[in-house]
Structure 1
């Protein structure tokens, strides 16, 4: 039975695509529905689906990031990008061994995609193609918002103003997030998912579903035989686990 995951951060669009897929390809089993890139990457590693439908713009890891990691995490998975942009990127998609769907997804266009996916696979996705797609997308991407500079966090009865550059890592704690610096820990009422949208992506990287680390705070990365990794930090004694699919992203930095 063919399998797929669907990764789209907008719930209504995700639900709509799943429903359209159920009608266009009844035999297809949707093994995971994800609302961010980290969840998509973990689902690809766990299920090794035949197809991954990836929204290009997601919090934290983008569809491009997930596809790059999937080349090693699940080489047989075929990628279909979901995009709101119909200029520049489309030409690159047309010339690659992947397919694309424009938002909102048109049922007839999806039928064509399904027919392509049901045919024997082509040469597959590779890093060079992803670089070409990313270059194309730079011409149509929205200007990023100014990254977060300060955080107001609670530590007991004290409210602290923490410079984001001083943060070593963020750790999810249910609906809250623990902010860890060289001086200690504090708590903010913002989930990891929301933080990913306001942090500078060139400085902060997600290394686990529940952890975002400041790259400048990393002293070393050690990989074990299982493919997972461990981060040693410059100003903290504890180490941070890196799940196997995220190790792939580190190698592409």
Structure 2
């Protein structure tokens, strides 16, 4: 087998950075081929990168880690990341499945890596996840239904505007504020991009950069910049928005 590939999916960006740093020390041969901040991006990464291992947070916006794992079809070994207590995660205790309890400790990660290396060396196929996931759902309960953000209160000059999110072309972080662009102009809100990415409907609003979320229904044109990166132009806006490489997979089917 060639180089082992993995993705990390968690809506806490600092945890992704921390876990990747720990893995680089404990398992330097492992290549992290993708990072995701929500379940839909994680599933897209699995489909596009075909990683050997996926580290998945159980509670993520869009799709939960369990939903992502169930849709993988057993093609990828899964390590769940969870804040649930020890009793709730007893369902994971078997040779083909593993979990990391937050906060992730060095000793626990070493145990997980040793188990994964053993599976890889023996070429053990990924676990059949359906039965395991059903058991976990019984233990921790089904994921809460998503309630996506519909309205935003925004500062506009000397007044407050109530903006319907479907009218938003894009959100872009700017210093201490986030700029909200609609056909009527720009407004400012204090809610950061990270919080917006968790509250907006991920099927409509795509995070294309750590500081930018666009309304996918408003995409007018996709092109390549001089540096080779994807660039997006939205209907009703002359601004060209750059897509970071970690989010470029969103546009592969377009």
Q: What do residues 165-212 of structure 1 show as CA deviations (whole Å, max 9, x unaligned)?
A: 211100011332100112211100111111112212221111111110
What pairs up with 1:60-99 in 2 under 5 angstroms? 61-63=37-39, 65-66=41-42, 68-69=44-45, 78-83=53-58, 95-99=74-78
| Corresponding residue pairs, total | 217
**TM-score with structure 2 setting the length:** 0.62
1:45 counterpart residue number: none
Change (3 A) 1:75 1:186: same
Structure 2, gaps ≥5 residues long: 84-99, 102-106
Structure 1, gaps ≥5 residues long: 30-47
| Two-structure CA RMSD over aligned residues (Å) | 4.8
Question: C-alpha separation between the residues in 2 aligned to 1:141 and 1:53?
Answer: 24
Q: What do residues 206-230 of structure 1 show as CA deviations (whole Å, max 9, x unaligned)?
A: 1111110111211121235855211
Q: What do residues 128-187 of structure 1 show as CA deviations (whole Å, max 9, x unaligned)?
A: x9xx9xx99999432111x22221111221222222121110001133210011221110
1:152 and 2:136 are equivalent in the alignment: no
1:50 and 2:31 are equivalent in the alignment: yes
C-alpha contact 2:221 2:234 (8 A) present in aligned 1: yes
**TM-score with structure 1 setting the length:** 0.62
SS state at 1:179 partner: strand
1:114 counterpart residue number: 114
1:32 counterpart residue number: none
SS state at 1:144 partner: coil
